[in-house]
């Protein structure tokens, strides 16, 4: 695993040297645009809207549109004036209860690995965060940009999770969602029963990217056949319906999941099986 950053965690006078590693990976299939007749790759050109002419890199500037069609051009000096000093430090500013933070605030996790000399202080911070159920709110500069971040205890590791700033979260009030709604007791009881029948232990390994796997299967088959079209089974999706009669829909759902649950229950042992000695 390739490190992306080296620095230190700082809180109070404590300084813990660490190395930052990605904690997630996204394996998306990458496609190229090709010309149909000869499969020649197509390159993107930088073209000006005004006349459709291609623009060389040395003739391109960066601008901010403050009104429609009106721009302020910024040069390298403008960016350097507001550039944040890269201190290579995860500077913890305060500790807060993790339950007090809206999960939508969290964005991207990174593992933090201690340098050998900082192992004891690393373990101390991890154990304190774990027992207190708190996270350290910090500021960190990665790739010239300042981020809000949380230092979390995750198993035996410390995780730095980048966060959104509050103004980046779109308020749910902008949506047309129902407020307090009167729900009948029958619907509520059946809904709770359905949730109970569908409940299980969380196991992330149960969930796979079925779309990517199916698409990769098509690609492999087409490659093996020299690019010819191949027959594949279409996956059946669930069509959305207008829910009018909640009771009947809940009833059908309970029947469906009840029959599935019965199939999963293992056969009972024979009553003639010998008993174990006490």
CATH number of the domain within which 88 lies = 2.40.290.10
pLDDT value of position 87: 64
The boundaries of the domain holding residue 96 are 5-25+83-166
Length reported for the chain: 278
Local structure of 132: helix, strand or coil: helix
Per-residue pLDDT tens listing for the chain (278 residues): 788 888 889 888 888 999 999 898 877 778 888 888 888 988 888 889 889 899 998 999 989 898 888 888 888 777 766 655 556 788 899 999 999 999 999 999 999 999 888 999 999 999 999 999 999 999 888 876 888 999 999 999 999 999 999 999 888 888 887 888 888 888 888 888 888 888 888 888 887 877 788 777 888 887 887 777 777 666 665 565 565 677 787 788 888 777 665 555 554 444 444 444 43
The separation between CA 88 and the C-alpha centre of its own chain, rounded to angstroms, equals 25
Kindly write down the DSSP assignment for every residue of 72-96, as one continuous string.
Answer: EEE-HHHHHHTPPP---EEEEEEEE
Distance between CA atoms of residues 241 and 243, nearest Å: 6
CA distances from 251 to 110, 119, 121, 169 (A): 45, 56, 56, 38
Q: CA-CA distance, 84 to 74, in Å (whole number)?
A: 17
Domain tally, the chain: 1
Residue 186 within a domain:
no
Helices (H), the chain: 76-81, 119-132, 185-197, 210-224, 246-264
Q: Is the residue at 137 inside a domain?
A: yes
Domain assignment of residue 151, yes or no: yes
Instruction: Using DSSP, state whether 195 is helix, strand or coil.
Output: helix
Give the orientation angle of helix 185-197 with respect to helix 246-264, to 10 degrees: 20
Residue 52: CB atoms within 10 Å: 7
pLDDT for the residue numbered 191: 87
Confidence (pLDDT) at 263: 58
In angstroms, how far is CA 41 from the centroid of its own chain? 32
Residue 154 lies in a domain: yes
CB 144 within 8 A of CB 83: yes
Residue 190 to residue 148: CA distance in whole angstroms: 43
Could you give the CA distance from residue 37 to residue 58 in angstroms, rounded to a whole number? 34
Does 108 fall in a domain?
A: yes
**Domain presence at residue 147:** yes
Decide the pairing of beta strands 89-97 and 5-11: parallel
- Residue whose C-alpha is closest to residue 189's, from 248, 250, 249, 242: 250
Q: Is the residue at 211 inside a domain?
A: no
Distance CA 121, CA 203 (A): 32
Q: How far apart are CA 16 and CA 242, in angstroms?
A: 56
User: Hey, is 7 helix, strand or coil?
Assistant: strand
Can you name the residues that pair with 210 across neighbouring β-strands? none
pLDDT at 212: 80
Answer yes or no: pTM beyond 0.85: no
Closest CA to 134 of 23, 16, 11: 11
Please indicate, yes or no, if residue 17 is contained in any of the structural domains: yes
């Amino acid at each position: 695993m390739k490190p992306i950053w080296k620095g230190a965690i700082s809180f109070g006078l404590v300084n813990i040297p660490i190395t930052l590693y990605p904690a997630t990976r996204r394996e998306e299939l990458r496609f190229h645009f090709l010309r149909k007749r000869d499969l020649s790759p197509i390159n993107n050109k930088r073209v000006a809207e005004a006349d459709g002419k291609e623009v060389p890199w040395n003739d391109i500037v960066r601008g901010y549109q403050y009104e429609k069609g009106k721009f302020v051009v910024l040069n390298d000096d403008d960016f350097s004036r507001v550039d944040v000093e890269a201190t290579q430090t995860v500077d913890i500013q305060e500790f807060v209860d993790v339950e007090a933070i809206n999960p939508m605030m969290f964005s991207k996790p990174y593992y933090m690995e201690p340098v050998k000399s900082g192992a004891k202080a690393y373990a101390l911070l991890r154990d304190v965060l774990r027992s207190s159920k708190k996270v350290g709110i910090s500021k960190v500069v990665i790739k010239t940009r300042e981020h809000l971040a949380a230092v979390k205890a995750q198993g035996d590791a410390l995780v730095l999770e980048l966060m959104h700033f509050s103004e980046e979260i779109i308020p749910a009030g902008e949506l047309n969602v129902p407020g307090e709604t009167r729900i009948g007791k029958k619907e509520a009881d059946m809904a709770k029963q359905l949730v109970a029948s569908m409940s299980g232990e969380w196991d992330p390994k149960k969930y796979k990217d079925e779309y990517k796997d199916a698409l990769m299967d098509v690609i492999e088959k087409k490659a093996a056949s020299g690019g010819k079209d191949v027959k594949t089974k279409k996956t059946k999706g669930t069509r959305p319906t207008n829910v009018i009669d909640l009771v009947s829909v809940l009833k059908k759902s309970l029947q469906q999941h009840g029959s599935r649950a019965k199939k999963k229950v293992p056969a009972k042992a024979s009553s003639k099986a010998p008993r174990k000695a006490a």
